[in-house]
């Protein structure tokens, strides 16, 4: 069964450094998402992406964040200058279509630790 | 935006008992109601969902019931097993692309 994959599984970085988190969505999916989960808290939406542009973003997704689909398979999240509070698990997800009934499949996550 | 609340935040049951988790939401436009299960250190996984034109849906030991008038839906797990221990999240959906997750319910099934 196809799955969403993410790399790396764990990223440790110094405050102020840039990080890029990578995701490979399921191949026939058209909608891509990033969520984050601070340890012990709920999953929070960051951004959704369709047709090579952002379709929706939350207030968390400020100017420090950007997303890109650099080729036909990868979907990346860049954090330009990391802060301590960016430490979290970052989940990528993808779905065939938008809206109700289109299950979002989650990747295994990247644990980001900012020191 | 959508305001989602889950109750209880933690739930401990004996193996074989039933567990019920309730999710309330604020957006009357919500029309899709999934439940996700997240085991420790793992990804959220969809376990059951229901659409707004249906009041109840069952899949083996799990079921979801929906009350659109009262704006809440519930997850029911019968004959609980230790492997049901996890955090459960509701994520009512308005048809917008993002999921709004509840705060989660930590279920502990005691053998």
Chain centroid offset of residue B106 CA: 11
What pLDDT shows up at residue A100?
55
Residue B21 with chain A: CB contacts under 8 Å: none
C-beta separation of A87 from A112 below 8 A = yes
What pLDDT shows up at residue B30?
87
Let me know the angle formed at the C-alpha of B31 by A100 and A41, rounded to the nearest 5 degrees. Answer: 80
Mean pLDDT of B51-80: 94
pLDDT bucket at B20, cuts 50 / 70 / 90? very high
d(CA B79, CA B17): 5
> Which pair of tokens denotes residue A104?
């979002």
Whether pLDDT at B34 is above 90: yes
Whether pLDDT at B51 is above 90: no
d(CA B91, CA B72): 11
Q: Which residues of chain A have pLDDT under 70?
A: 99-101
Q: Pick B85 or A104 by higher pLDDT.
A: B85
Distances (CA, A) of A9 to A22, A85, B40, B72: 10, 19, 15, 36
Please name which of B110, B111, B102 lies closest in space to residue B8, comparing C-alpha atoms: B102
- Look-up: residue for tokens 């012990």? A40
The answer to whether the CB atoms of B51 and A101 lie below 8 A apart is yes
What pLDDT shows up at residue A25?
96
What pLDDT shows up at residue A59?
92
Residues in chain A: 115
B54 touching A (Cβ < 8 Å): no
The answer to whether the CB atoms of B97 and A98 lie below 8 A apart is yes
Whether pLDDT at B13 is above 70: yes
What pLDDT shows up at residue B96?
61
What pLDDT shows up at residue B95?
62
- Look-up: residue for tokens 């299960």? B37
A interface test, pick of B98, B101, B102, B105 with most A CB neighbours within 10 Å: B98
Mean pLDDT of B52-60: 89
Whether pLDDT at B1 is above 70: no
What pLDDT shows up at residue A101?
61
The answer to whether the CB atoms of B43 and A44 lie below 8 A apart is no
């Amino acid at each position: 069964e196809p799955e969403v994959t993410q790399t790396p599984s764990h990223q440790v970085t110094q405050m102020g450094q840039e990080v890029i988190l990578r995701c490979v969505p399921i191949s026939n999916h058209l909608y891509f998402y990033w969520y984050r989960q601070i340890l012990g808290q709920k999953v929070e939406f960051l951004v959704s992406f369709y047709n090579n542009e952002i379709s929706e973003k939350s207030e968390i997704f400020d100017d420090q964040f950007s997303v890109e689909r650099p080729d036909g398979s990868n979907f990346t999240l860049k954090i330009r200058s990391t802060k301590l509070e960016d430490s979290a698990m970052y989940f990528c997800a993808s779905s065939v279509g938008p809206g109700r009934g289109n299950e979002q499949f989650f990747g295994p996550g990247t644990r980001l630790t900012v020191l | 935006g959508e305001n989602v609340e889950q109750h209880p935040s933690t739930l401990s049951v004996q193996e074989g008992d039933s567990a019920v988790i309730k999710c309330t939401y604020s957006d009357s436009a919500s029309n899709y109601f999934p439940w996700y299960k997240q085991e420790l250190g793992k990804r959220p996984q969809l376990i059951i969902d229901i659409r707004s034109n249906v009041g109840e849906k069952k899949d083996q030991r799990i079921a979801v019931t929906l009350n659109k008038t009262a704006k809440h839906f519930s997850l029911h797990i019968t004959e609980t097993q230790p492997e049901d221990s996890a955090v459960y999240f509701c994520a009512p959906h308005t048809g917008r692309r993002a999921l709004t997750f509840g705060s989660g319910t930590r279920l502990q099934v005691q053998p």
